[in-house]
Chains A and B, each alone.
Chain A
Amino acid sequence: MKSIYKSSLFIAAFFTVISFAGCDKFLDVNTDPNRATDANMTADLIFPNAAVEVAALQANTYWSTTTSNFASSNLIHLNRWMGYWGWPGDYSVDQEETSYSINFSSSDGIWSRYYNTLFDLHQVEVKATASGDSVLAASSIILSAKLWQELVDVFGDIPYSQSFQSELYQNPTYDKGADVYAALQTNLDHAIVLFGGSAKKSFATTDIVFKGDISKWKKFANTLKLRILLRQAETTYKSTAPTAELAKIAANGGVFGAGESVSVNPGFSNSLGKQSPFYAVYGKTAAGDDASSTARANNFFVTLLTNNNDPRLSYFFRLVGAKVVGTTYGLAAGNPKGADCSNIGSGLAKDPAQAAWILPSFESMFFHAEAVTRGWMTDQSVITADTLAIKESFAWLGCPESDGIDYLSKTVTDLWANTGADVTSQVNFILNQKYISLCGVDALEAWSDYRKMNQATVPAEAGDYTLLSVNPARGSNTIPLRMLYPQSEYTANPNTPTTATKIFWLP
């Protein structure tokens, strides 16, 4: 009996020993063998994707969600609100979008895409700084500055100073738009300083934007600085020009000119999922079919360009038969079917491997032209700066300048001759030219100009067509001045303002 007792004790002890001696080793199996974590992720692995995302946001395209409906993950509706694009007749009209009834779920996708991309850029900056790679950090600061400004331009006050510190601030407070703008100027100055450091050898390959050309990064910073200044031209700098900032821009090499576009190309090609984002969504599929069944020319814009004999029309849109056929925005019945009206043209959807633009050269030249008009820069005459920007738009689209001689020499001159001598009229003239050039390229910029100048940059009518939607349920006679904060913010962040305030740079 006693021996049984002993042996049972022994067996119990034996099992206890074998199970707990190896206990730690048995249990230490929680290191993820599948996914990258902060322990092994590096800045140069995040940067290329973030740069492509900046371009995808710019062109209102997004990889996996190519939905063209309102309230999707991008600002494609601005292309329609600004009169560039419309819906073909074989789709029922989107009631919300065409009646300008924005709601709280309209911007969930836009908001999260911007912040996701900004967070990746933030991680690049943090990781690059930690590893002493100041040049890569500076590049991500510059790309971030572009997106931050756009967030302010779309929503007004936004979480900025408390953003991306999840452990400290689960509910980031909202910073005033003006404060964010000011911080961006400082950031851009700081980035230019950081470019004084030496780039890592790998930067030339990591930098799929400028292939390691630091002088171009500095010019990009300058161009963004000018864009920030110009946005406030009707408020902050209405009476006093921002001379100190302008001097910095001049001192650091000025803004982009002809042939200097910011774009990104990691190696796009004509296969599924590898096409350049804009081409993938608005051009042709890898199999050669039309990628978009909903983006079509808008009669308003078609008439505007036809009246001015502007040859760029057939680069913005494809011909149907011998001409560009538009649709009327907001019309419930009577628009041509998708196959019978003009899809996006070859000036924008050039080829599947095209570089994805982040900021085209002509847009920067229009910044310059507006600065000249406002007397902020004096290196050219207004009409010269304007003409050069338009010519650059032709070149960027691939439209031979010779086709536009008529437009450039007569129309522009005549229009310019009829423009008043006051700065506001002249700015409106420049921004109208900019508006035309930005069709399908940067509707957000066109919308911002339009709002900044009290709707004067785009005519209300062109022939029989109006800029505004013809949907009879349209709630207001103006295009909305901002988007509402998304539902997701109201759900998750108690600091979200409940009242919508005017965007600070609006007059």
Chain B
Amino acid sequence: MRSLRAAILIACVLAGWEALFWFAGSSALTSPLDTIAYLGELLSSPRFYPHLIETAQAFAVALGIAISCGILIGFTLGLYRFAADVSEPVLVALYSIPKLALYPIVLLAFGIGMPAKIAFGAIHGIMPIAIFALGAVRNLNPVYLKAARVMRLTPSRIAARVLLPAAIPEIFTGIRIGFSLTLIGTLLGEMFASQRGLGYLLIQAIGLHNVRMIMALTLLLVVIAVTASALLLAVDRRLRRHMFGGS
């Protein structure tokens, strides 16, 4: 049933796309078929791959940083009430500001190239992960904590053996969101701070008004993003079912 629905959704999107193409003309976009064909060309061209690898590497590192720092920050704040009271409004404010505005500062700090991209990606992803990790600690069922105290566990044991496993479903939701945001952050970083990578290709194409390239790249990114998201969503559901049953 689910794959049928997905197929219907994709069909609707393709139909809408085709209609839009028909309406707006080929100076604005390319038709679905053309786009897929061009993307195929790109993927089989050896000059394209270095860009793909570049983006993938930057993204992987940025995500790793975002996850580890995000969980660390979230847990620390969750466990130390006062620190959380001080920092939460700051976190909320940081999450909400257009980090794009910080981008010149990041560039000036890191220079052009990989570090800047990674920084940008990590900055985008760290917030939701930290916020969800903090929430996971807060929402920890207090009875687990009491039971652990009655069993005379030390605080570090409690954190590792009770808090962490109990928090995993919620942290994972944060990671899901952080994944998407880190991806977009890395791409944005590439758009402005790099001579390589998918983001760079994209901004080039925008500048040259190379519609085929824009569409093909966007399609590639959308497919990657949606697939990864769907996978993470499936894992998320399985985690929750394992712990909480039902749906």
Same assembly: no
